[in-house]
Amino acid sequence: MSDQAFLRECSLANGLQVTVSDVSCHYYGGYWQVAIEVRCLVPLEVGNFPDTATAADVRRLLGDAIPFIRRLERMAVAGDKLETVRLELLERFDRHLLPFLNNDRFPSRFIQTEYQQRSKKNSRGIPCLL
């Protein structure tokens, strides 16, 4: 398997560019970890935030674009089943992940979720440090 073999690119109705790559690798013996990696950059749009201060804080924490990366994988696949499993993973991407990414509300929801996760105070389990 080649490193990061390009499989396909999709231009979505909501403006996102999605790339799908084969990141499979040899596991052990005659077995493989078959994996496809789905990537896209979700650009920040100021219109998604209630005020400019929030937008500036989001841009400070997250940058101009946030990478969305997901892996679909299956472990311990026999060498003669590689292509079948890869096609199954691509079909799973088409059936489940692509409609999710193509939703008009996905970019703003993804940005909000990432912002909430990164702006939480990290208490490290010690309540008095909040």
State pLDDT tens for residues 65-78: 999 999 999 999 99
Structural domain harbouring 14: 5-111
3-state secondary structure 91-121: HHHHHHHHHHHHCCCHHHHHHHHHHHHHHCC
For residue 62, tell me if it sits in a domain: yes
For residue 124, tell me if it sits in a domain: no
For residue 122, tell me if it sits in a domain: no
For residue 26, tell me if it sits in a domain: yes
Q: What global pTM score does this model have?
A: 0.82
For residue 126, tell me if it sits in a domain: no
State pLDDT tens for residues 115-127: 888 887 544 555 5
For residue 120, tell me if it sits in a domain: no
For residue 118, tell me if it sits in a domain: no
- Mark 41-73 as b/e (b = at least 16 C-beta within 10 Å): ebebeeeebeeeeebeebeeebeeebebeeebe
Q: Contact at 8 Å (CB) between 86 and 36?
A: yes
For residue 89, tell me if it sits in a domain: yes
Judged by DSSP in three states, 4 sits in: coil
Q: How many residues does the chain have?
A: 130
Number of compact structural domains in the chain: 1
Q: Please tell me the predicted confidence (pLDDT) of residue 52.
A: 83
Bridge partners, residue 67, by sequence: 41
